[in-house]
Structure formats: C-alpha cells, structure tokens
C-alpha cells in the first residue's frame, strides 16, 4: 500500500506519495524540493516561509516514520517546525 506525507499548507492539507522514498533538497528560505525515488521526470516544489534545515529534517523524519509504520497507517503527518510554514506545493515537470 502506498504511503503519503501529509503536509499542511496555506492552501490546505496536501498528500505527497512516498513511493520508494523521497529526497529532500532545501534551495533556500523560500523553496524546498522533494524528489521521488520512483521517477526523475518531476519533483514537488514546496514554497516555504522561513524555511530552514529544520523543515528538511522534519520531512525526512516523516519519511522514516512512513517506512516504519504498518500498511494500515497510509498517511503520516509532517510536524512543521515552529515559525516555518509551507505556502503551497506544486508538481514541476523537468524540461
């Protein structure tokens, strides 16, 4: 069964599929990217406010929790660090 990271954004709750794993890249205080191990044709672009390495760490910790939970717990909430928010999530296709 597929596992999902549930991320609270300014647009509501978003579920990002974990698949065979996600790689987190923090590109600055305003952006973070999630790359899927299943495909390298696209990534998830998270527009952040006050994003630090703690946000990347929180996403990685949620991936670990998703891998460790049983198949009946398909959705794993991401605990955002205090003072850091995700404004939106967009899927971006590589060109």
- Please give the pLDDT value at position 78: 96
User: Does the pLDDT value for residue 40 go beyond 80?
Assistant: no
- Domain of residue 41 covers 4-93
Beta bridge partners of 8: 13
- Please give the pLDDT value at position 38: 81
- In angstroms, the CA 32 to CA 16 distance is 14
What would the pLDDT profile of 47-86 be if each residue is shown by its tens digit? 999 888 999 999 999 999 998 988 788 999 999 999 999 9
User: Does the pLDDT value for residue 14 go beyond 70?
Assistant: yes
- In angstroms, the CA 72 to CA 31 distance is 32
Q: What is the pTM of this model?
A: 0.87
- 65: helix, coil or strand? helix
- In angstroms, the CA 19 to CA 85 distance is 24
Q: What is the DSSP letter of 84?
A: -
- Please give the pLDDT value at position 70: 84
């Amino acid at each position: 069964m597929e596992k999902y990271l549930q991320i609270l954004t300014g647009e509501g709750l978003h579920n990002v599929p974990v698949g065979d794993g996600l790689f987190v890249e923090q590109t600055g205080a305003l952006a973070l990217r999630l790359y899927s191990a299943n495909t390298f044709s696209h990534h998830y672009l998270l527009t952040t406010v006050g994003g630090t390495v703690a946000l990347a760490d929180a996403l990685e910790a949620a991936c670990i929790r998703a891998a460790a939970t049983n198949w009946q717990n398909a959705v794993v909430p991401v605990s955002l660090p205090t003072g850091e928010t995700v404004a939106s999530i967009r899927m971006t296709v590589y060109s």
